[in-house]
């Protein structure tokens, strides 16, 4: 019998609702329950795959190939679980399902209406997700902020669930308490307004997670309690933290886990967050730095968007650094800068390692290729992720194998030397403009050759990793590349596709056609990232 905890956001977005949701889930998991999580996004897009990362952050991919919101990545990282298409819902998905049912005559000739059919579909999906994950608890995060028109039908679904199963549904509201500099005092009014707004949707929050720069003190807890109709013990202080992985520990300081259990009339239980606490100690400990540069392009609108565009890459670097007892220092390097100012490339020499992450399209490509060449020639550790592998192959063909006009079909499908080419089935999809959810997505098998960097990292020959791409290394050029020292150390045997590429005679120069960052977990860093950071940080003590 699954219990449902809805998490909605008030006051403003971007205050860490996803991490708060993941943290509640973590606490309950640490008390011995089976916990799942589901992200609801109010947009019409059927999935996140058709959005530019600048729009909505990184596109996270699950094992089953669902292109979803980055919060699903937070859930996986905090819970150390792998989720699926059931853990993600959008307005587009709900409407698509209802329309398909209607077309199949599944509503028995009735008039199909927004209310109740849309909320009923939402409810069915939420219940199914809980069942599928055999969850004792499922956290359901409703995207956006209360008071928005967009997420009303999801709140309506939540309200209906509370009505029909009052003992199995709980509401948490994540709000923000500003501390305006000119006043110097933490203000509760926006939270009061947010609660009113939630009330007008027929929902009373059971718990308020009070995000703020500072911890929430007793007088403010009392005030929120009186004005928002919750017990003072249910106002949980959620101050800014150094690392998001501290948040479950912080919530537990306010006894959040047992408050939740009590509300469900369950026995109180002690948590076991020992591993987690040890991790936080490592994060805080003083340790030698490792400097990693990420050469990308999805960060034009400032630091925050940038963080979101490559969030799994950032987290994977951090996990690997902590495992190597290093303090990660991550720098964003704009690929286009190296096109405008080729001399700037020399700055790469000051880094311990360089990552070229996933990407699409022409912009910034030549800058990334220059960066890759510099890493290869100057023996700087290099890790190429998906697009990063493809560009490393192009660079090597051009500058080490003499194929001067080597390129990818993504940039010019009619070029003579397509080192990277579109996969045959993808060609058909592109021609028919069937873009949504049609890339080579999700988990695929890869066979690793012994005695390679890849094998040293993984310690096994059979692995599987998550993919998201349409283009691949063109097998016709493999021999030419191999002759000059490129090693194809990971192959998908079913289709003979290159999955991992590396260079002989280089401390660490590895490219992967998949996205290892999506599988990295704070307590179990991804082996390739761990090895990359290990080699990168050898020089520093
Ligand atoms: N644009 C490339 C492709 O479609 C790489 C994709 C990626 O980096 N995820 O194959």
Structural domain tally of the chain?
Answer: 2
130 lines ligand 1 (CB under 6 A): no
359 found inside a domain: yes
Tell me which of 256, 279, 302 is where a domain ends: 279
Indicate if 239 and 303 belong to the same structural domain.
no
Average pLDDT estimate for 342-354: 95
CATH number at residue 216: 3.40.50.300
Q: Is pLDDT at 302 greater than 60 in this prediction?
A: no
User: Which residues lie closer than 8 Å to 312 by C-beta, 6 or more apart?
Assistant: 58, 60, 70, 73, 515, 517, 518, 520
Q: How many CA atoms lie within 13 A of 420 on its CB side?
A: 25
Domain that holds residue 139: 3-279
In eight-state DSSP terms, residue 110 is P
Asked which of 202-206, 393-397, 427-431 is least confident by mean pLDDT, the reply is: 427-431
Sequence length of the chain is: 541
453 found inside a domain: no
Can you tell me the distance from the alpha carbon of 348 to that of 351, in angstroms, rounded to the nearest whole number? 6
Q: How confident is the model at residue 51 (pLDDT cuts 50, 70, 90)?
A: confident
Query: Residue 541: what pLDDT?
Result: 47
33 lines ligand 1 (CB under 6 A): no
- How far is the centre of ligand 1, averaged over its atoms, from the C-alpha of 472 (Å)? 9
Q: Whose CA is nearest to atom 8 of ligand 1?
A: 358
Catalytic residue among 271, 467, 515, 526: 515
Average pLDDT estimate for 342-353: 95
CA dihedral of residues 90, 93, 98, 102 (deg, nearest 10): 160
464 found inside a domain: no
Atom of ligand 1 nearest to the CA of 360: 1
Average pLDDT estimate for 372-376: 97
For a mutational test of ligand 1's pocket, the pick from 61, 309, 358, 361, i.e. the residue with the most ligand atoms closer than 8 A to its C-beta, is 358
CATH number at residue 401: 3.40.50.880
Tell me which of 260, 279, 298 is where a domain ends: 279
SS3 441: strand
Q: Whose CA is nearest to atom 7 of ligand 1?
A: 358
Asked which of 9-18, 142-151, 354-363, 459-468 is least confident by mean pLDDT, the reply is: 9-18
Indicate if 294 and 265 belong to the same structural domain.
no
Strand segments, DSSP code E, in 93-179 are 137-142, 169-177
Helical (H) or strand (E) element with 329: strand 327-334
What pLDDT, in 10s, does the model give residues 56-110?
A: 789 999 999 999 999 999 999 999 999 999 999 999 999 999 999 999 999 999 9
Question: Is 298 or 525 the better-scoring residue by pLDDT?
Answer: 525
**What are the tokens at 56?**
């909505």
Indicate if 30 and 77 belong to the same structural domain.
yes
Indicate if 262 and 389 belong to the same structural domain.
no
Please indicate whether residue 386 is annotated as part of the active site.
yes
Q: What is the mean pLDDT of the chain?
A: 94
Query: Residue 117: what pLDDT?
Result: 94
- Give the number of other CB atoms < 10 A from CB of residue 218: 9
Indicate if 300 and 172 belong to the same structural domain.
no
- How far is the centre of ligand 1, averaged over its atoms, from the C-alpha of 206 (Å)? 44
Indicate if 215 and 156 belong to the same structural domain.
yes
Q: Is pLDDT at 304 greater than 50 in this prediction?
A: no
What pLDDT, in 10s, does the model give residues 490-518?
A: 999 999 999 999 999 999 999 999 999 99
Q: Is pLDDT at 298 greater than 80 in this prediction?
A: no
505 found inside a domain: yes
Q: Whose CA is nearest to atom 3 of ligand 1?
A: 469
φ/ψ of residue 337, rounded to 5:
-60, -40
Helical (H) or strand (E) element with 539: none
493 found inside a domain: no
Closest C-alpha among 416, 423, 462 to residue 443 = 462
Can you tell me the distance from the alpha carbon of 136 to that of 133, in angstroms, rounded to the nearest whole number? 9
What pLDDT, in 10s, does the model give residues 440-449?
A: 999 999 999 9
440 found inside a domain: no
185 found inside a domain: yes
60 lines ligand 1 (CB under 6 A): no
For a mutational test of ligand 1's pocket, the pick from 390, 407, 408, 420, i.e. the residue with the most ligand atoms closer than 8 A to its C-beta, is 390
User: Which residues lie closer than 8 Å to 326 by C-beta, 6 or more apart?
Assistant: 287, 288, 289, 290, 533, 537, 540
Tell me which of 253, 279, 305 is where a domain ends: 279
| Preceding peptide of 169 cis, ω within 30° | no
């Amino acid at each position: 019998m699954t219990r449902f905890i809805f998490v909605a956001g008030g006051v403003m977005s971007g205050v860490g609702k996803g991490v708060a949701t993941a943290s509640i889930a973590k606490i309950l998991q640490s008390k011995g329950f089976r916990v799942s999580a589901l992200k609801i996004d109010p947009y019409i897009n059927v999935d996140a795959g058709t959005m530019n990362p600048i729009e909505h952050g990184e596109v996270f991919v699950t094992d089953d190939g669902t292109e979803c919101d980055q919060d699903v990545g937070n859930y996986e990282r905090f819970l150390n679980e792998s989720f699926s298409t059931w853990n993600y819902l959008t307005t587009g998905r709900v409407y698509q399902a209802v329309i398909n049912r209607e077309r199949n005559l599944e509503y028995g000739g009735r008039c199909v209406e927004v209310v109740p059919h849309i909320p009923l579909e939402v409810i069915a999906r939420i219940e199914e997700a809980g069942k599928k994950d055999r969850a004792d608890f499922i956290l359901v995060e409703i995207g956006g902020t209360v008071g928005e028109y967009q997420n009303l039908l999801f709140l309506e679904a939540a309200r209906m669930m509370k009505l029909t199963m009052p003992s199995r549904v709980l509401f948490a509201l994540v709000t923000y308490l500003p501390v305006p500099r000119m006043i110097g005092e933490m203000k509760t009014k926006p939270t009061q307004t947010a609660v009113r707004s939630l009330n007008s949707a027929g929902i009373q929050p059971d718990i308020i997670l009070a995000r703020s720069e500072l911890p929430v003190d007793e007088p403010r807890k009392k005030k929120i309690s009186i004005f928002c109709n919750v017990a003072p013990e249910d106002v949980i202080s959620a101050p800014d933290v150094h690392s998001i992985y501290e948040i479950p520990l912080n919530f537990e300081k306010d006894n959040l886990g047992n408050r939740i259990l009590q509300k469900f009339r369950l026995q109180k239980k002690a948590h076991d967050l020992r591993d987690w606490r040890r991790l936080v100690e490592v994060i805080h400990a003083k340790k030698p730095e490792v400097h990693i540069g990420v050469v990308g392009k999805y960060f034009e609108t400032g630091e925050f968007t940038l963080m979101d565009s490559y969030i799994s890459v950032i987290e994977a670097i951090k996990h690997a650094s902590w495992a190597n007892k290093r303090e990660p220092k991550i720098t964003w390097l704009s690929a286009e800068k190296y096109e405008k100012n080729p001399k700037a490339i020399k700055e790469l020499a000051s880094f311990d390692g360089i990552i070229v992450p996933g990407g699409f399209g022409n912009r910034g490509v030549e800058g990334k290729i220059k960066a890759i060449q510099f890493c290869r020639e100057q023996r700087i550790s290099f890790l190429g992720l998906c697009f990063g592998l493809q560009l490393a192959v192009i660079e090597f063909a051009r500058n080490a194998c003499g194929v001067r006009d080597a390129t990818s079909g993504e940039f010019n499908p009619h070029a003579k030397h397509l080192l990277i080419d579109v996969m045959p089935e993808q060609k058909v999809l592109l021609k028919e403009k069937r873009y949504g959810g049609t890339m080579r997505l999700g988990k695929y098998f890869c066979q690793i050759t012994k005695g390679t960097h890849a094998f040293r990292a993984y310690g096994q020959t059979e692995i599987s990793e998550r993919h998201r791409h349409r283009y691949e290394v063109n097998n016709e050029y493999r021999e030419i590349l191999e002759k000059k020292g490129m090693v194809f150390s990971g192959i998908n045997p079913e289709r003979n596709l290159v999955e991992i590429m590396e260079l002989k005679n280089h401390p660490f120069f590895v490219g992967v056609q998949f996205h290892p960052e999506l599988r990295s977990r704070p307590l179990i860093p991804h082996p390739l990232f761990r090895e990359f950071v290990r080699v990168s940080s050898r020089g520093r003590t």
